[in-house]
Amino acid sequence: MATDDTQSIAELYALLSTCFQTPDRALVEAARTGTLYEQLVARTGSLGFRPERPPTDGFEGVPDLHEAYLRSFEGFEGAYAPPAESAYEQWWDGRDGGLLSGPAAVDMRRRFDAVEVDIPDRYPADHIALLLEYGGLLLEAAEIDAYVSFHEEHFDWIPDFHERVEETCEDPFYVWTVQVLSGTIEAVETQLLRTDQPDEHDG
């Protein structure tokens, strides 16, 4: 990937990370004024896809979006889709998902400790917001090989997360958010594969 592309993806990850954090006034205003959409579009061009505009009819302020966040991701009421990798990965004791703070979270705590970054208490270490932040750090530092390895290890659960959201989530903004996340990860994988594949005429 070119340097400009990696910087754009790092910035895109930062934007998506804010969408998966507990919502605040800045996110609500960015979504409702169109700023969030404009910033996303400015950074997805190099990946070859354009997200749709975020639906904002379902909320007027922070309280509305916060309730939607809880319903969608924290089990405020009914079925939900945990936004953390361990819930979708096989644990080391052989069980499939279902609980948080599995091996993925252990690895992410180790990674954040190594770069002396504190993990907010309100999130598990393998929360998607934190994975995006960490991936962005690697891209900003132009550590492409390290990023590719991280991506392969920690973003393979996104299709399952997307499917779970489609099955359980009735809040349009967060359905949209996960669709943009899924599209981003797929596009990055395509670009990484294209970049990393040796030319068939080489050697």
Note the pLDDT tens digit of each residue in 21-54.
Answer: 999 999 999 999 999 999 999 999 889 999 999 9
The predicted pLDDT at position 193 comes to 62
Q: What is the dihedral of CA 20, 23, 25, 26, to 10 degrees?
A: -10
pLDDT at residue number 77:
75
3-state SS, residue 84: strand
**Is it the case that residue 68 has pLDDT exceeding 90?**
yes
CA 150 vs CA 55, 106, 167: distances in Å: 31, 14, 28
pTM of the model: 0.90
How confident is the model at residue 98, as a pLDDT? 47
Q: Mind listing the domains of the chain with CATH numbers?
A: 3-195 (1.10.3480.10)
